[in-house]
Structure 1
Amino acid sequence: MARGTRKPPRSVAALLALLAVTACSEDTPEPQPPPPPQGPRFEATIRRTSHGIPHITGKDLGSVAYGQGYAFAQDHFCSLADQVIKVRGERARYLGPGPGNAHVASDLGYLSLDLYTRARQAVPRLKADVRTMLQGYVAGYNRYLEETGPGGLPAACANAAWAKPIDEVDLMAYHISLGLLTSSFQFISAIAAAQPPAPPGITTLPQETFEAPSLEQLQALRERDVGSNGWAIGAERAQGGRGMLVANPHFPWQGELRFWESHLTVPGVMNVYGVGLLGVPGVLIGFNDHIAWTHTVSAGQRMTLYRLKLAPGKPTHYLYDGKEWPLTARTHTVSVLQPDGSLVPLTRTLYSSHFGPIIVIPGAADWSPQVAYTYCDANLTNTQMISQFHGMNRAKNLQEFQEAFATHQGIPWVNTVAADRDGTTWYVDGAAAPNLSNAAIQSWLKASSGADPLATQLLRSANLVLLDGSTSANAWVEAPGARTPGLVPFSQAPKLSRRDFVFNANDSYWLTNPAAPLPELSPMHGFARRAPSPRTRMNMQMLTEVTPAGASGADGKFTLDELQAAILNNRSITSELLLAQVVERCQRTPSATYGGKTVDLTKACATLSAWNGRFDADSTGAVLWREFTGIYPGPHFFDKGSLFLQGFNPDAPITTPNTLVPAPSTGEDPALVNLAQAVTVLQGANIALDVPLATVQFAPRGDKRIGLHGGLHRDGVANVISYDTLQSTVVDQPPARGPVLVPATGLTSEGYVVANGSSFLMALEFTGQGVNARALLTYSESSDPASPYYRDQTELFARKQWRAVRFTEEDILADPALTQVTLSAD
């Protein structure tokens, strides 16, 4: 049966029965429990080395997770406590309604997704080793709270009523919510705001109002600098003849999407190093003795939207395959804290179709008497994320690593690139994706190419897929081997193995290796043969060039030093393609008219002429260039149009587009007019044209302002440094910044405030003696401003000063900052 063809449930009981089937169909029964443990149930040793990196050894998997939960809580207790009240639907209870009822909307939205029912059903079905890690992590986190006491917690949650113990269901519900980052996450308030229109002639009672995301806000989500670069280098391109890896995820520097670094060892069972998201046991990006891997956010789809045709005169009934079916109504009540400390209940009825929740996008996808909008989420039934990563953490070779994907299919929204010690690399977009029939895809492609204005707008503005929900022809199709009916099975996911390299920088699977483009697959995995982003183009340039000045030198074989230098060299593809041409035109005609005034470009010409084209800390010219290119409209500026004369050629993806659009035969040169605009903007902000980049690009860390190198996604720089607020936290907030003068570049009157971008940096090589790795956690290990590990690595990052990863016992013991504590619990 195709997903979406089930008869919609006609009662809450029926809905819960259906949820029980769909949420758990991918799980396996729990094996028989092991014999009772001897001695303490959990026992772990936590050794911290320089910069606060914890190396945790446990007698078993539950114990090592116990130590990890405790050490994590020392660095980020408040952040997880906040996320737990979010998924519980209790923010309004503890924090009040929030600005514009934001906390109430969040509570209602998460309650409507019923994460706790899903979590309660999933936990008992976890395999014993995974469940014991979940239990151990919870016990360690709770022990930290018990030892510290409410008053001893960091200032962000000290004595807060919501800073309380958690259980394994809380943690599982939170993990499910993490899987919704590129799907339901963006529609939480859109769910809460969705209410049926009143029938003609009937006046409804006033209700609480919630601000649903506009199409412009959804577009901003798409254009955020949240992504990554991931390189896996094989034997043919590695000077040492073994596997190498570069991890460079770009994520927010605050909130629940921060990474936290740790080293986990269970002798004879597991030895893994790397980072994970807050509150997640194990390692999500990292390495063990046999294999190394990283992730990049996938360009594929995690959900599809549906337009429902409503029954005449019945705004809560819709037509499906010619029959009339009712929406499912569920009433939710949240408690809202009042200024006097009392709690007031707020009740709201929310609706869902058999596809999923009803939503509204004001001005675009409104609930009218004729139509309503809903969506289906590929990750709402994903309870396998921890099992997936646990299998990867313990893999002893590439085959076992791949088997973790085939068995669990728990990757929510990322690509994976990996390299093994023997020099084989592998790429897979194993993220959950809708499995649509070819007929449905062709119908959607036609609709989103102009035939349906809203479908076209949603795709172009927010990369959202809108389908006709009145027919089962557009339902998700079941395929053998899929984790949940209606998803693409692992066997059909895009994948490639090479001995030279594979990479991804958030474009589709297609150009994983430009020498071996993958065949075109469903656009639910992203589009093939489309112009890649400037950053992807810069990645390809560095990976394929073989010149003395190139990233891998004249021999084309990377050393670890060359890998490390390449990912932070701050080269800009836009400057390499266009800078010389802009300078030549500017020097020939050093003035242009902007805003009705003649602008002298002499200083601008000299600044760009002296610039080396890189976004390094001391680069003078980078700021002017960013403001110049930022004038060209996105997100498709990096193709033939107002900037490039030669458009993208899918048969020459590394060398196209190219060449600056020529000046017209008469009138002013648009390129120089844009340069004049950039000059005017910077002068208006009192920023010198030749200011060093790090003078105006900085990260506020406590009372210190740390100047930084790096560029934007649209600058075509691998090392992305930007400002972003993709998070749902009420603690560890991004730094405030003044009014934004140029949205495309993030320029404010104080410059460029950094709150996002390169996060965990790692360059690694396998050698005959083991693993040689270097790393940086750009925002540092702790979110507590009182911690010595709050900004220490940020200062290292500002200097491009990597640190050696301490993976062997010898290296750990040699650290002069080594501390140790042993914990146990019955």
Structure 2
Amino acid sequence: SATPNLSEGALADYETALEANPIVKIAADNGAILLNGSDPVNEWVDEQGARDPGLVPYKEQPQVSRDDYVFNANDSFWMAHATEFLTGDYSPLHGRQETARSPRTRENATVLDDTTASGASGEDGVFSLDELADASLDNVGYTARELREAVVERCGSTAEVTVPPFESEDEEVDGLPGATVDISQACGVLAEWDGVYDLDSKGAALWREFMSRFEYSDLLDAGVLWATPFDPTKPLSTPNGLAPVVAGGQADLILENLARAVQALDAAGFDPDVELGEIQFSLRNGEKIPIHGGGTFDGTTNIVSSSKSWSIRDPKLVESKRESITNHSPLMRVDGESGYPITYGTSFLMALAYGENGPQAKVFLTYGNTEDRNSELYTAVTERFSKKNWRTVAFTPEAVKKDATNTITVKG
């Protein structure tokens, strides 16, 4: 990718600013590099071999080639494989090395590296086209994979949890009241849930609300969520283990956050056992299309979420007023509908295999094949994605001709 080629002095100044300047730190936490444009030390350096002036040359960029697998799930280049890491004297603008990975990255690595007979790649440990397609939408959440059983064990001995009022940081968003919350049903729901984010999954929304009470930084190291800290030599398996109860009679944050999850769902009008397909949807022409998949705190391979900028430019959606239902929750109320209105994430998805008879592929273009809101194709592909009904790609001229629905002759 195109990465600015900064001098050693510029990089040293940036590292200093990252520690001393909170604005630079906030930018970095949101995936941006903030430099002082008035300081000539930050001029981009021209170097032979670069694609364009001021960029890092190709030979100096992180690169890896393997015959089993490589992957990236919006983390840095460092962990492109579960057990073999890409290290070197690379610019930090390419990403950081030896840092904790997101739950989504850890789930991708877990799925790809499992070559046992029960893994996604089957008995031979090698992905077929269908196995690869199924794995990309298996919708297992990493945080639930690692923590659900321990949370169930923790909540199983407690029927009620008393929580203090939770004040909202935003005056336009409601907080949650102080109350004694019955968590027995919620605990039972999590005990029965398999950790999957499919349409009929009961427990997925509850777990999401539970996890959303934590900060993103809590996902990356030991503290209020994890017991064992991150180890850069074991980035797939650490941090791990559920944080223990704090001694001294302090409130158990795990149980308190589960109670908050029950409160949040109740505020949106849902029970703890609500099916994901009822609460998570895409609004297309005012129609609710149920959507499977998970978000950042869920840690699924299939990522779906909501954007403040409404990535899907559906007029009905853009005109709708969006309201957060409660603080520290992705729940929203849009056009009278409460839940998780999905607007971005998995968009173009392709599973591809090269065989003796040429390439074979399955695809989704989840946002749709046309901007014509009056066309049946406007919602057709989103509905296909909802049902995990892949479309087979036509590669050969014969297959394209057979699949054609219309022919247009263009004359110049």
TM-score (norm 2): 0.89
The 8 Å contact of residues 505 and 535 in structure 1, kept in 2 or not, is answered as yes
What is the DSSP-based 3-state SS (H/G/I as helix, E as strand, rest coil) of the residue aligned with 2:297? helix
Structure-1 residue corresponding to 2:299: 716
Q: CA deviation at 1:818?
A: 2.6
What amino acid is aligned across from residue 713 of structure 1 in structure 2? T
Matches within 5 A, 1:518-667: 518-520=86-88, 521-595=90-164, 596-635=178-217, 637-665=219-247, 666-667=249-250
d(CA) in 2 for partners of 1:745, 1:668: 21
Q: Cα deviations across residues 766-788 of structure 1 (Å, max 9, x unaligned)?
A: 00010111111112201111112
Matches within 5 A, 1:484-499: 484-499=52-67
Q: Cα deviations across residues 533-576 of structure 1 (Å, max 9, x unaligned)?
A: 11111111111012232221243211111101000000100000
What amino acid is aligned across from residue 645 of structure 1 in structure 2? A
Structure-2 residue corresponding to 1:758: 346
Q: Tell which has more relative contact order, 1 or 2 (C-alpha 8 A, sep 6+).
A: 1
Structure-1 residue corresponding to 2:169: none
**Residue 748 of structure 1, aligned match among 318, 332, 340:** 332
d(CA) in 2 for partners of 1:560, 1:753: 31
Q: Cα deviations across residues 667-708 of structure 1 (Å, max 9, x unaligned)?
A: 331100110111111112211110100101111122421111
User: Is it true that 1:812 corresponds to 2:380 in the alignment?
Assistant: no
The 8 Å contact of residues 102 and 219 in structure 2, kept in 1 or not, is answered as no
The 8 Å contact of residues 591 and 672 in structure 1, kept in 2 or not, is answered as no
Structure 1 spans left out of the alignment, 5+ residues: 1-430
Q: CA deviation at 1:447?
A: 2.4
**Residue 13 of structure 2, aligned match among 428, 431, 443:** 443
The 8 Å contact of residues 812 and 818 in structure 1, kept in 2 or not, is answered as no
What is the DSSP-based 3-state SS (H/G/I as helix, E as strand, rest coil) of the residue aligned with 2:156? helix
d(CA) in 1 for partners of 2:257, 2:306: 24
What is the DSSP-based 3-state SS (H/G/I as helix, E as strand, rest coil) of the residue aligned with 2:381? helix
Q: Cα deviations across residues 619-654 of structure 1 (Å, max 9, x unaligned)?
A: 000010000000001255332222111122111111
Structure-1 residue corresponding to 2:259: 676
Q: Cα deviations across residues 480-506 of structure 1 (Å, max 9, x unaligned)?
A: 122333211122111111111111111
Structure-2 residue corresponding to 1:480: 48
What is the DSSP-based 3-state SS (H/G/I as helix, E as strand, rest coil) of the residue aligned with 1:688? coil
Q: Cα deviations across residues 15-39 of structure 1 (Å, max 9, x unaligned)?
A: xxxxxxxxxxxxxxxxxxxxxxxxx
What is the DSSP-based 3-state SS (H/G/I as helix, E as strand, rest coil) of the residue aligned with 1:487? coil
User: Is it true that 1:458 corresponds to 2:27 in the alignment?
Assistant: yes
Structure-2 residue corresponding to 1:792: 380
d(CA) in 2 for partners of 1:730, 1:777: 15
d(CA) in 2 for partners of 1:737, 1:720: 24
- Change beyond 3 A, Cα 1:745–1:758: farther
The 8 Å contact of residues 293 and 302 in structure 2, kept in 1 or not, is answered as yes
d(CA) in 1 for partners of 2:98, 2:382: 38
Structure-1 residue corresponding to 2:4: 434
Structure-2 residue corresponding to 1:689: 272
TM-score (norm 1): 0.46
- Change beyond 3 A, Cα 1:753–1:535: same
What amino acid is aligned across from residue 272 of structure 2 in structure 1? L
Structure-2 residue corresponding to 1:770: 358
- Change beyond 3 A, Cα 1:732–1:465: same
d(CA) in 2 for partners of 1:705, 1:456: 39
d(CA) in 2 for partners of 1:734, 1:571: 29
Aligned-residue identity in percent: 39
- Change beyond 3 A, Cα 1:737–1:534: farther
- Change beyond 3 A, Cα 1:651–1:619: same
- Change beyond 3 A, Cα 1:755–1:785: same
Structure-2 residue corresponding to 1:137: none
Aligned-CA RMSD value? 2.1
Q: CA deviation at 1:730?
A: 7.9
The 8 Å contact of residues 480 and 489 in structure 1, kept in 2 or not, is answered as yes
Matches within 5 A, 1:158-557: 431-450=1-20, 452-460=21-29, 463-467=32-36, 469-470=38-39, 472-520=40-88, 521-557=90-126
- Change beyond 3 A, Cα 1:737–1:575: farther
d(CA) in 2 for partners of 1:721, 1:524: 26
Q: CA deviation at 1:473?
A: 3.2
Q: CA deviation at 1:810?
A: 2.6
d(CA) in 2 for partners of 1:785, 1:799: 21
d(CA) in 1 for partners of 2:48, 2:354: 37
The 8 Å contact of residues 212 and 330 in structure 2, kept in 1 or not, is answered as no
d(CA) in 1 for partners of 2:237, 2:401: 49
d(CA) in 2 for partners of 1:622, 1:478: 50
Structure-2 residue corresponding to 1:405: none
Q: CA deviation at 1:727?
A: 7.1
Q: CA deviation at 1:468?
A: 7.4
- Change beyond 3 A, Cα 1:641–1:779: same
d(CA) in 2 for partners of 1:824, 1:489: 43
d(CA) in 2 for partners of 1:498, 1:773: 22
What amino acid is aligned across from residue 375 of structure 2 in structure 1? S
**Alignment: residue pair count:** 392
Structure-1 residue corresponding to 2:408: 821
- Change beyond 3 A, Cα 1:455–1:760: closer
d(CA) in 1 for partners of 2:281, 2:26: 35
What is the DSSP-based 3-state SS (H/G/I as helix, E as strand, rest coil) of the residue aligned with 2:382? helix
What is the DSSP-based 3-state SS (H/G/I as helix, E as strand, rest coil) of the residue aligned with 1:821? coil
Q: CA deviation at 1:824?
A: 1.1
- Change beyond 3 A, Cα 1:546–1:475: same
What is the DSSP-based 3-state SS (H/G/I as helix, E as strand, rest coil) of the residue aligned with 2:345? strand
What is the DSSP-based 3-state SS (H/G/I as helix, E as strand, rest coil) of the residue aligned with 1:773? strand
**Which of the two has higher C-alpha Rg?**
1
d(CA) in 2 for partners of 1:585, 1:777: 42
The 8 Å contact of residues 82 and 110 in structure 2, kept in 1 or not, is answered as no
Q: CA deviation at 1:717?
A: 0.9
What amino acid is aligned across from residue 44 of structure 2 in structure 1? W
Q: Cα deviations across residues 761-816 of structure 1 (Å, max 9, x unaligned)?
A: 1111000010111111112201111112101111111111111111112322333x
Q: Cα deviations across residues 456-514 of structure 1 (Å, max 9, x unaligned)?
A: 343345633334744x3332222112233321112211111111111111111111123
What is the DSSP-based 3-state SS (H/G/I as helix, E as strand, rest coil) of the residue aligned with 1:581? helix
Greater share of strand: 1
Q: Cα deviations across residues 142-198 of structure 1 (Å, max 9, x unaligned)?
A: xxxxxxxxxxxxxxxxxxxxxxxxxxxxxxxxxxxxxxxxxxxxxxxxxxxxxxxxx
